[in-house]
Structures are given as structure tokens and as C-alpha cells.
Amino acid sequence: MNIEKLIKLAYTAREKAYTPYSNFKVGAAVVTENNNIYSGCNIENAAYSPSICAERTAIFKAISEGESKIKLIVIVGTNDFTYPCGVCRQVIKEFAKDTCKIIVANNKMEYKTFTLDELLPYSFGPEDLRR
């Protein structure tokens, strides 16, 4: 998968972000195990709690289209490197393959690659409920 292409897709999604309160725009692109790509942006709400992050928007779009697992996610924010929040990390855990890579990119097309275990050590997931 071409990382630069995915970063550009995340940038494009970021431009669609609805952020009238924070003006902190985030875009994400998700690649599923079927190699389909879904993008998403963050969407704010005046009540704050109904807001949703770009990562979750992209993942939920994929799942709503019948996908079951993601294998890669790219995140770009307004500033330097933007990492997924705790809620997004938990959602990634729910729908990620064990080998899922999480890429955070800055505005200079530089990026860092992480595993989910690096960003969410000692996590709780579906496998913990099947014991």
C-alpha cells in the first residue's frame, strides 16, 4: 500500500472536517483486510460529547459497508503529529487485525509507524470476553 497516497487521502478528508469550535481538523484513511480504503474527518458538536474523531468516522464507514477488520490506519492533524485519542485506540482495537499499523503523519509528509500494542499496551478487547 502506498503510504504517501494514503496520507494524501487523509489530508483530503481533513479538509472536510467540521470544527467550528476548536478549528483542529483531523483526517484519517483506513485500509481494510480486503484492501478497500475508507476516509473520515472529525465532526464537532456544540455539546462536545456527540463529536466524533476522524479515525472513528473512517472505521465506522468501513464497518457499515460490511468490512470486518482494518489492517492500516493513517492519521493527519492540524499540527505536527496527531495521535489517536484513547477512545479511538479502543475502537481500533475492536476492529484491527493483530498486525494493524497506525501511521501518524505531519504536514511535511513525514510519518511515524506504530503497532496498536505500542499505542495501547495491556489493552482489553473482544478476546478478553471469550474466555
Catalytic (active-site) positions: 55
β-partners of residue 41 are 27
What are the DSSP E strand ranges found in the chain? 27-32, 37-41, 70-76, 96-105, 111-115
CB-based contacts of 59: which residues, under 8 Å, 6+ apart? 30, 38, 40, 70, 73, 91, 92, 95
SS3 percent helix, strand, coil of the chain, rounded to 5, is 30, 25, 40
* 3-state SS, residue 122: coil
